Amino acid sequence: MDQFTVPQFIEIEPKIIGPITARQFLIILVGGIIIVFSYKLADFTLFIFEALIILLLVYVFGWFKPGGQMFHYFILNFIQSTFRKPSLRIWHKEMIRIKEIKELKSVNEKELIAPELIRKSLIASKLSELSLIVDTGGVYKGE
C-alpha cells in the first residue's frame, strides 16, 4: 500500500505579515478604504462615528471566532439555520411485520401487546457473522 503524508494543522491560516493572515490583511485593507471614503464624504463627527463602527466590524470579521469558526461562517450558518426550516429526522426501525401483529391480536383479543415488546432480537451467531464481515472489510461474504 502507498503511504501518504497527512497534512497537519489545516485550520491554521498561514501568516503573511507578522501575526496577520492574508484574510485579515484583506479585511483591514477594505476597512481602511471605507474609512478613507467616509473621511472624504462626511463631516468630522459623523466620520468618527462611522470609523468606530467600521473598526469594530473589521475586528469582528478579522479576529473574533465564536465556537472556533470564523465570524463570517458563523453568521452564514446562523442565517441558514434560522431561515430554513430546521428538520430533525429520526429513523425508528421496526423489526416486526404488521401481519404478525394482526395474528397476535386475533389470538389474544383481550390482552394488548405493545409492538416494542414483540421485536425480534438478533441471534448471537448472526451478530458474530456480521462482526466478522465488518472486521474483514467485506472480504468474508458470510453464508
Per-residue confidence (pLDDT) for residue 107, from 0 to 100: 56
Range of the domain at 53: 15-83
Question: pTM of this prediction?
Answer: 0.51
- The SS3 assignment for 117 reads helix
DSSP string, 58-81: HHHHHH--GGGS-HHHHHHHHHHH
Residue 7 lies in a domain: no
Query: What are 5-21's pLDDT values in tens digits?
Result: 887 777 777 788 888 88
First to last CA, the chain: 30
Q: Which of 60, 83, 106 is the last residue of a domain?
A: 83
Same structural domain, 73 and 106: no
Partners of 20 in the β-ladder: 17
Say how far apart CA 130 and CA 124 lie, in whole Å: 10
Domain count, the chain: 2
Same domain? For 19 and 73 the reply is yes
pLDDT value of position 119: 46
**pLDDT score recorded for residue 9:** 73
In a domain, 143, yes or no: no
Q: Are 35 and 77 in a shared domain?
A: yes
Residues 20 and 76 in one domain: yes
Enumerate residue ranges in the chain where pLDDT < 70: 85-125, 143
Please indicate, yes or no, whether residues 74 and 125 belong to a single structural domain of this protein: no
Residue 36: predicted pLDDT: 95
pLDDT on residue 116? 47
